[in-house]
Copies of this chain bind each other. A is one copy, B any other.
Amino acid sequence: VDHISSFRKMSVYEKPQDRVLIMLSSGNLAISQAVKEHLSHTPKDDALTIWTARNLFEVAQLVGEAIRVVAARETEALKAAGVEFNINLLLGGQIAGESTRLFHIYAAGNFIEATDENCYFQIGEAKYGKPIIDRVIHAETPLMDAIKCVLVSFDSTMRSNISVGLPIDLTCYARDSFNLDRVHHITDSDSYFSQISQRWSEGLRGVFASLPDPDWEIAPDTRDSFSIPPP
């Protein structure tokens, strides 16, 4: 049995032993829902669908085409209302016959793929939570560390942008398993997330408190070298 699991900003498409596709969206919700609706249509001819695409690149192409169909239909009316056609999608997962792949699909329907050197993507309110990811995540990072890192990253984002908040939908997929081994919906009653948040905060304060004071002396000659007398 195939399964489509729907979250607010996460959709999971599963066909046991054949494919696991995970799609994350940011931007205009009406657009991302319209794109997902289009992807769920059964084509009249024998055109490919996300269930029959032979590899993840083809799925990314189908998603890009769906964005373009929605854009052709919606852009003019949105523009008249002063609304930008704004959508970003992440598509990750695995189709039998190839390894896991991850794509970032843009509003224009074009996309880029993650590489070993650039092994992650973020969409939405990304910057506040990026530094910890840059410090921790590499292509060889264990999945458990990646989970923790993503949660710490979200915690930072939620502290700096009050409009970002729980719940968080988290899915973890282990290569070649064709099975989602961790799907977790994190609400504000999640004791693990609270614990991570608190321990990270305390740990950061501890590291910060241990930093040495600057050893700079005020050298008057240095001061003078960048002082310009007024006219």
Contact = CB atoms under 8 A, between A and B. Distances in A.
Interface stretch (A65-73, A106-114, A143-151): A143-151
Contacts of A157: 131
Interface string A180-221: 011111000000100110011101111110111111101000
B204 A199 contact: no
Interface in A13-48: 40, 42
A41 B213 CA distance: 40
A160 interface: yes
Contact of A182 (B4, B183, B207, B218): B218
A135 B205 contact: yes
Interface string A121-142: 0000001111110111000000
Interface stretch (A55-63, A78-86, A223-231): A223-231
A211 B218 contact: no
A227 B5 contact: yes
B147 A184 contact: no
B160 A216 contact: no
Given A3-B230, A207-B200, A227-B3, A135 B159 contact: yes
A156 interface: yes
A1 interface: yes
Interface residues of A, number: 61
Given A4-B230, A211-B200, A159 B184 contact: no
Interface of A: 1-7, 40, 42, 127-132, 134-136, 144-145, 147-149, 152, 156-157, 159-160, 181-185, 192, 195-196, 199-201, 203-208, 210-216, 218, 222-223, 226-231
Given A129-B131, A144-B214, A183-B218, 7 more contacts: A3-B229, A3-B230, A127-B127, A135-B201, A199-B211, A200-B207, A203-B203
